[in-house]
Amino acid sequence: MILVWLIVILMAGGVLAWISGKINRALPRWIALGSVLAVFGMTLYLWLSNPIPVLDSAWLIQFNQPWIPQWGIDFRLALDGLSLLMLLLTFFLGLLSVLISWREIQTKVAFFHFNLLWVLAGITGVFLTMDLFLFYFFWEVMLIPMYFLIGIWGHENRRYAAFKFFLFTQASGLLMLLAILGLYFIHGRQTGLYTFSYFELLNTTLAPEAARLLMFGFLAAFLVKLPVVPFHSWLPDAHSQAPTAGSVILAGLLLKTGAYGLLRFVLPLFPTATVEFAPWAMLLGVIGIIYGAILAFSQTDLKRLVAYTSVSHMGFVILGVFSFNEWALQGVVMQMITHGLSTGALFIIAGFLYERLHTRDIQKMGGFWTTAPKMGVIALVFVMASLSLPGLGNFIAEFLTLVGSWQANNWLTVFATIGLVMATIYSLRIMQKIFFEANRMEQALPDLNAREMLIAIPMVAMILWLGLYPQPFLDTARPSIQEQLQAYTASPPPPVAMSQLTPQVQLTDTIRLNQILKASRHDPD
Amino acid sequence: MTLTDFQHLMPLLILTFAVLVSMLVIAVGRNHKIMYVITAVSFLAAFASLFELRDVGRYTIEPLLVVDGFGVFYIGMILLTALLISMLSYAYFEQREERKEEYYILLLLATIGACVLVISTHFASLFLGLEILSVSLYALIAYLRTRERSDEAGIKYLILAAFSSAFLLFGMALVYASTGTMEFAGIATAIANFTELPLLLLTGFGLMIVGIGFKLSVVPFHMWAPDVYEGAPAPVTAFIATVSKGGVLGVLIRFFMEVDGFRYPTLVLIFTIVAIASMLAGNLLALLQRNVKRILAYSSIAHLGYLLVAFLTGNQMGVEAVTFYLVAYFITTVGAFGVVAMLSDKERDAEQLEDYRALLWRRPWTAAVFTVMLLSLAGIPLTAGFVGKFYILAAGVNTQLWLLVVMLALNSVIGLFYYIRIVAVMFQQADAEVEMEPRGRLRPSIYLASVGTLTILTLLLVYIGVYPTGLLQVIEGMLAVATP
Amino acid sequence: MGELLWLIPALPFAGALLLVLFGNRISRALVSVIGVGSVGISAAVTLVLGIEYLSSRPAFIRQEVWQWFDVAGFSPSIAFHLDALSMVFIFVITFVGFLIHIYSTEYMAEDKDYARFFACMNLFVGSMLMLVMADNLLLLYLGWEGVGLCSYLLIGFWYKEPENGYAARKAFIITRVGDTAMAIGLFMLFQQFGTLHIQSISTEAAQVWSIGNETAMIIALLLLGGAVGKSGQLPLQTWLPDAMAGPTPVSALIHAATMVTAGVYLIARMHVIFALSPVAMTAVAVIGAVTLLIAGFAALTQYDIKRVLAYSTISQVGYMFLALGVGAWSSGVFHFMIHGFFKALLFLCAGAIILALHHEQDMRKMGGLSKKLPVVFYTFLIGAASLAAFPLVSAGFYSKDQILWLQLAGENGNIWLYLAGLLGAFITSIYTFRMVFLTFYGEEKTHVGHKPTWAITVPLIILGVLSFAGGFIELPHNFGHVVLFSDFLAPILPAVTMVPDFNQYEWMLQLLAAVVSLGGIFIAYLYYYKKPELIESIHRSEFAMAIHRFWHSGWGFDQLYDTLFVRPYVYLSKVNKKDFIDSIYTFIANVTQNFHELFSRTQTGVMRNYVAGIVVGAIMILTISLLL
Amino acid sequence: MSAIPMETGLLLAGVLFMLGLISVMIRRNIIFMLISVEIMLNAAGLAFIVAGSHWAQPDGQIMFIFILTMAAAEVSVGLALILQIHHQLKTLNSDAANFMKG
């Protein structure tokens, strides 16, 4: 039931916030803060009260209630480590979103918070549901409020951005719906049991051709959401036009639903088709890493720049997912969390700057370190996170991903690693243009105030924690990752498929590694 | 005709009686409110009489009509829709000084026509139903006769409808000529004996499709729709978009299921082309349109295309999908036009996009209702439109009509654009020059019925969107007996 | 023992953290106490541990602070490893670091970002210690990147000047190129061994691979890539001269004594892998030889005193690589230590001069400082002698001579490498004393402002003593034969296999080296003190000036990279700023819109057209139904 | 009784239908368009009668009566509308009634 409460509290809070706007302008903010705090507290409690689960049951809590029995649709929620982590991230960023909007949003406050909470509710649903119909349902539910957030409270070009965001995600989502339906009927014909239950559908045996088509249906939605080049073009617009809270949620959470979908659905549902597609997917990932990095370098709109860095960073996710090993997947999960934090933080800093300067053009900025050293330090931390400096969470994520992807494909990993150099190039440009050099503005930039520090400090603390002691997070994710990988452990991805794409470095002792892996897998520690 | 026959035709009789009473009342003295109450009560009564027929099974009134679950459900749908439309009409017509009372008579008559359509099993009853509907509509469309557009729409609809009726009739004649019967069942038997369909019959079917296609406003017979939608008063537009089309679609389904037209690749091909063309043309035409009523017209063209997808599956699931979608579509369309009607003033309807600018801030609840309606049309979850679209897609995937299904998905995206565009206009900031409340309005109490209706519609829409099980059960239960 | 190990890096980190959090709110004196004190205590702890270590002589001491993470058997720890090799490095880092911190209190006294400076310096010392104390390569990588960050922050310390920022970014990016290679090396190592624990890898590699193994070669070359980037070796050396944009103590600590030698540490640390691959070894040696020559020639032509020293650093690190490349591990490390002393000394002297001359760095505007700044002069002279390998009395002579000697005496040596080293030594002494003569002799050209006080002079003197005496812990066979240093390292770093019966030539080679060094000094004396007109004659020759310009620009590497990489990248980025993929979608949208307009045109509003539409539809339907 | 073959009768109806159709297409005057539509309806009626006589059933003729009735109703409404249009547009040219388009 607690899972249902999470969603219900958010939705009810949203409605309440909307209504309360009639009474008092500040009330919606407090209601929103209260509801997010409540769900965050509940999730934290769940996390702390559940010791690291043992291997054979990845699922911590399940909730099941028939919904549309005619079609085999249940209101089925379930929580495992992966979902738990995603929820923690969701509510953490949700909390920050409420806080950063405290001063930024001054028009239609009540409706803003309604949308904010409903986006969070939709995202929560996506991370929790184990019924494919319900999944699609939530997948769409989170879009509308997001559309409003961008379209109403966004910057100058908000309508265009909102449209683009909506159309891209909808178009891809519909393809996923077709694939879900295809899977539903195939499974139904096979077993006579027509159901959208994730757990049942996992047992579907698919002809290779069908599997491939269905996989592409799912991929369409997730790759657009992630986003993978060449489906990324909604993202820079949406990210740069959204209000700060919107950008944080977009970059921090909505992109993660794509990654989550890949992990949760694509991997276990289509074990053979994914292996076939893996080299191409990894190639897409690498292209994304490099392409995003190159484009980020030349952007002059700060939020647009950060948006392209997201494209680049999300390339690591798909690279990792299609490596099919635990290191890479742990890296992916870490990347989801750390990227959520670090990019969210960069957007927040962009928001702080925008509030003070009313511009996002970095060519007009410069020399802010002199007057705003606190902001400078915090920006520095997250810029460094974005170029994956060791000691910060992003490094663990990207290093694990690359270690894992190296096992799968050498050359692509090499190019992905080169992406780190490019990350350095664009990241340092951010620091240089904003905080260093001479101040081009007439006015002095006020440093962060107490509220802003309250937002920034937890993020710095989190990113350091994730960088120095990520084990609690890794432990939480482990059982579910192993579950997702079950179909792959029996047969590692055939090297043949990879050598078709790229010449391989000759390696002599790969067998040794496998032995080590096996040994370590049996070892509980 | 026996007494039981009359019992089974009770809803129609109630409506007919209401028409007669209305005429008498008008003869005695004009009173808008009384007429309005009579109409609403008669619709309610007719609908209530349907409960008697709920478990009717299949009752045939030889040779013209059949009352079965399918028919009862569709009649119910039509009656409720007509009721809702009449509820919305009151405020709309109250602010117009013209004679308002005959409107309700025409509305009742048109509803009777539609009801006859969906229970007809004979060309004659089909024709009669259709014409009762059409002729009433001619008058309804041009009802606000001082408006140029109303007249233009009326004459366009009249000429074109008569023109298409000629096609339909000629087609019927040819089918009759080649089969020797005008009963659906008889035609089915006759066709079953042919190894290959004779030319005459095919031509007949082809011509009939023209006539039916016109009423459904599918491509390429759709061109009247935007003009008529624009010119007609908003409630009448809602009526055309829902009741008229629903009735025709009902009889089409009945006829096709009866003769099992899905066996003939030619017919399937024609409908496939029509469906795809309707989806594409409808959505593309609506894309940058700035007149809301025209947008809704084009969108209805597209929606008929979607419906045809489910129709083309040619099985029980398809019929259920069509029916479910129709319910959702009816609610949504009535709701949307209801909003249009509510925002209209006595000079003109609120049809330009500009009229909706910043509506969300001026009249948040109206805007919210309209947003929900538009989202339902777009097929976004939490609304009935989503479940309906899902049902259609499911039916399509089930029958593996991949081309149609993919086209549907693609078109949904195009469609999304213009629905969202209206939503975007509503939450735009108001320009300083635009007056917040431009027009003098009636007493708020007059709008009570409209507001209530819209609220009900919205709640219904969300309810079905969130919990469609109930409606699904009803549809499955009612339709199970109907389809052979 | 060893419980205190974690304190060594932790103290500077704590200092940095304190300064970041409260630096702006506390007095300068307190900042100095925290900044200098943390490193000082760290140095003291090092001393305590070092004494303990020397007295008990364990193979190594390991301390695990916590397990970093554990993913499917990949379980690196935050753990420290102390053995002789890291001992040497820790010693240099903490002590030289401590001295430079003291020095900085005076050098940076006027700067308003005093706290930020010390925060970065402390952070640097901490990261550098992390690097050399790490027991696994991932932690090493953490330190490795950490020092890169600090280097970036400190080069760009005076951030108002865009050039400084440029230099800082250049340093970070170019070293990151090397780091990337190294990271790939780590991936491969992990794939091979399932761990990044250095000891395990070293033990296993020796068992699993035979000499010449291809994988070992690739890994070694990749690690070399990292080393080359960090140590400013060819082909990634171009960042180091520009890095002189930072404050001079930074140049002394980071870009001379410690960080740039991280590559040396890495190779020495992973010597097992390198030893397995002759190709990689040759690459190391050749890179070292070529770099030391190129940088030497470039140093000859610089006017900026710090740039001379920067090129000299590149060149001297080249010697270390040369040593490592022939398997003379401990000689390389020995030279690192000595170089750390004298180069820090030289930089600090240069800093004192620059401070005295109001931030004037051009040697052409210096001169006659020997009287004005006597302490600086004499300590500089000691440093210069050491750098030029002045025979017998300078530490540099012993460390460099050992390297040159092993080029011939070592089994892996090569006459060409030897000659390159010898030539390098000759050039070194020329440019070193060019510097001495230009700066301290001749007439005074700029007024001396700031006279150094104790905070500057004491570190100079201590480093001067070390630069002089440091050499005596390792003396050649025929000359005292003291092997304290290589003995100390022997458990970790194997000795060079010598060519048999070669010892009798050693004195000849020593003599040659001495002659070369003195010859260089003499030439510098001749050209830059005695007969400056000789320089004039060079300046008149077109050809000579062309070469001069070429060398001055660092052999044109900057221009080359600019053309090859920087400009294409920037072009590619700028030209696609609007993202051409976006235009694909715009195109689709436009096509849809065009369709809309096309279709809209059919809705003419004219009834007869609608009739025609129906007729066309009817004809189509009839055609289909009749033809099919 | 030598019946006219059904095909011939239908052909006649078809021709009539085509005539009506073509004149709807080429006529601009709304009244003439209405008349032409009536011709088409009558063609359909004729076809019904022919078919009915072929099958020797009264159904065709019944249908024709229905059609006549309907046509009458339609014409009455139509003429009223045309009057209104003429009142407003001062012309019966159907092409003039094109306020609504796009």
| Distance, CA of A480 to CA of A81 (rounded, Å) | 6
8 Å CB contact between A320 and A331: yes
Overall domain count for chain C: 2
B467 to A141: CB separation less than 8 angstroms, yes or no: no
A-chain CB neighbours of C20 within 8 Å are: 377
Packing angle, helices C329-356 and C84-107, rounded to 10:
0
- Nearest neighbour of C24 by CB, restricted to A373, A396, A516: A373
> For residue A56, what pLDDT is reported?
56
> For residue A496, what pLDDT is reported?
36
3-class DSSP state for residue A250?
helix
| Distance, CA of C426 to CA of C413 (rounded, Å) | 20
**C74-91 pLDDT tens trace:** 888 888 888 888 888 998
pLDDT beneath 70: ranges in chain B: 97, 430-444, 481-484
A70 to B473: CB separation less than 8 angstroms, yes or no: yes
- Nearest-Cα distance to chain A for B270, in Å, is 24
D28 to C611: CB separation less than 8 angstroms, yes or no: no
Same domain, C407 and C300: yes
Torsion sign across C-alpha atoms B356, B359, B362, B366: positive
Q: Is the pLDDT of residue A59 over 90?
A: no
On the CB side of C262, how many CA atoms lie within 13 Å of its CA? 38
8 Å CB contact between C462 and C422: no
A170 to B416: CB separation less than 8 angstroms, yes or no: yes
Both tokens of residue B147? 């408006």
**C409-453 pLDDT tens trace:** 887 778 888 888 888 988 898 888 888 888 888 777 777 777 888
Both tokens of residue C473? 């812990």
Q: Which of A181, A183, A185 to mutate to test the interface with B (most CBs of B within 10 A)?
A: A181
3-class DSSP state for residue B168?
helix
**Residue length of chain C:** 628
> How far does Cα A400 stand from its chain's mean position?
17
> For residue A54, what pLDDT is reported?
53
Distances (CA, A) of C339 to A126, B402, C140, C264: 60, 75, 23, 12
Q: Find all residues with CB under 8 Å of A289, minimum gap 6, and list them.
A: A312, A313, A315, A316, A319, A415, A416, A419, A422
Asked if D56 is an interface residue toward chain B (Cβ–Cβ < 8 A), one would say no
Count of Cβ atoms closer than 10 Å to residue B60 Cβ:
15
3-class DSSP state for residue A207?
coil
> For residue A53, what pLDDT is reported?
55
Distances (CA, A) of C536 to B398, C427, C544, C545: 93, 20, 11, 11
**C538-551 pLDDT tens trace:** 778 888 888 888 88
Q: Quick one: which of C134, C145, C136, C25 has its CA closest to C89?
A: C134
Q: Where are the beta strands (DSSP E) in B152-243?
A: none
**Searching chain B, which residue's CA lies closest to the CA of residue C610?**
B223
For residue C604, give its domain range: 578-627
Torsion sign across C-alpha atoms A47, A49, A55, A56: negative
B207 to C611: CB separation less than 8 angstroms, yes or no: no
Those of residues 322-361 in A touching chain C at CB distance below 8 A are 325-327, 330
Q: Which residue has the tokens 């649709």?
A: A73
> For residue A505, what pLDDT is reported?
37
8 Å CB contact between C170 and C242: yes
First to last CA, chain D: 57
Residues of A with CB under 8 A from a CB of B: 67-71, 108, 111, 133, 136-138, 140-141, 143-144, 147-148, 151-152, 159, 162-163, 166-167, 170-171, 174-175, 177-178, 181-182, 184-185
**Searching chain B, which residue's CA lies closest to the CA of residue A152?**
B427
**Searching chain B, which residue's CA lies closest to the CA of residue D74?**
B135
pLDDT band of A507, cuts 50, 70, 90: very low
**A220-250 pLDDT tens trace:** 999 999 888 888 889 999 998 999 999 999 9
Q: Which residue has the tokens 């004809």?
A: C619
**Domain residues of chain A, as ranges?**
1-269, 277-525
B-chain CB neighbours of D82 within 8 Å are: 155
| Distance, CA of A241 to CA of C300 (rounded, Å) | 55
| Distance, CA of A267 to CA of A262 (rounded, Å) | 6
Chains C and B lie in contact, requiring 3 or more CB pairs less than 8 Å apart: yes
Same domain, C466 and C607: no
Q: Is the pLDDT of residue A512 over 50?
A: no
Residue C136: strand pairing partners: C197
**Domain residues of chain D, as ranges?**
9-90
Asked if C600 is an interface residue toward chain B (Cβ–Cβ < 8 A), one would say yes
- Nearest neighbour of C612 by CB, restricted to D25, D33, D95: D25
A229-233, B471-475, C404-408, C472-476: which range is least confident on average? Answer: C472-476
Residue A78: strand pairing partners: A62
Please state whether the peptide bond connecting residue C235 to the residue before it is cis, i.e. omega within 30 degrees of 0.
Answer: yes
Those of residues 183-222 in B touching chain D at CB distance below 8 A are 200
> For residue B274, what pLDDT is reported?
93
pLDDT band of A158, cuts 50, 70, 90: confident
Both tokens of residue C314? 């590149």
**A405-428 pLDDT tens trace:** 998 888 999 999 998 889 999 999
8 Å CB contact between A288 and A314: yes
- Nearest-Cα distance to chain C for B382, in Å, is 28
- Nearest neighbour of D98 by CB, restricted to C605, C611, C612: C605
D-chain CB neighbours of C606 within 8 Å are: 94-95, 98, 101
**C188-246 pLDDT tens trace:** 989 888 888 888 888 888 888 888 888 888 999 999 999 998 888 888 888 888 888 88
Instruction: Quote the Cα angle for A204-A210-A212, to 5°.
Output: 105
C-chain CB neighbours of D27 within 8 Å are: 608
Distances (CA, A) of A57 to A479, B456, D62: 8, 46, 76
Q: Is the pLDDT of residue C611 over 60?
A: yes
- Nearest-Cα distance to chain D for C586, in Å, is 24
Both tokens of residue D32? 């003439």
Predicted-complex ipTM score: 0.89
| Distance, CA of C385 to CA of C393 (rounded, Å) | 8
B24-28, C45-49, C502-506: which range is least confident on average? Answer: C502-506
**Searching chain A, which residue's CA lies closest to the CA of residue B427?**
A152
C607 to D94: CB separation less than 8 angstroms, yes or no: yes
**A329-362 pLDDT tens trace:** 999 999 999 999 999 999 999 988 888 888 888 8
What phi, psi does B162 have (nearest 5°)?
A: -65, -40
Q: Is the pLDDT of residue A504 over 50?
A: no
Which ranges of B344-431 does DSSP label H, i.e. alpha helix? 359-362, 364-378, 384-399, 402-427
Q: Which of C25, C69, C239 to mutate to test the interface with A (most CBs of A within 10 A)?
A: C69
Cα-Cα-Cα-Cα torsion C321, C327, C329, C332, nearest 10 degrees, comes to -30
Domain D9-90 is in which class? mainly alpha
| Distance, CA of C216 to CA of C51 (rounded, Å) | 37
Q: In whole angstroms, how large is the CA radius of gyration of chain B? A: 21
pLDDT band of A461, cuts 50, 70, 90: very high
Residues C22-29: what's their mean pLDDT? 85
B-chain CB neighbours of A166 within 8 Å are: 416, 420
C607 to B269: CB separation less than 8 angstroms, yes or no: no
A-chain CB neighbours of B405 within 8 Å are: 178
Q: Which residue has the tokens 């249906």?
A: A217
Q: Quick one: which of C326, C374, C390 has its CA closest to C522?
A: C390
C73 to A229: CB separation less than 8 angstroms, yes or no: no
**Searching chain C, which residue's CA lies closest to the CA of residue B288?**
C596
Rounded to two decimals, the pTM is 0.90
Those of residues 96-135 in B touching chain D at CB distance below 8 A are 123-124, 127-128, 131, 134-135
**Searching chain B, which residue's CA lies closest to the CA of residue D71?**
B162
Q: Residue C605: left if φ>0, alpha if ψ -120 to 50, beta else—which one?
A: left
> For residue A511, what pLDDT is reported?
39
A520 to C73: CB separation less than 8 angstroms, yes or no: yes
B346-360, C80-94, C113-127, C281-295: which range is least confident on average? Answer: B346-360
- Nearest neighbour of B206 by CB, restricted to C609, C616, C621: C621
B224 to C599: CB separation less than 8 angstroms, yes or no: no
**B348-380 pLDDT tens trace:** 788 888 888 888 888 888 898 999 999 999 988
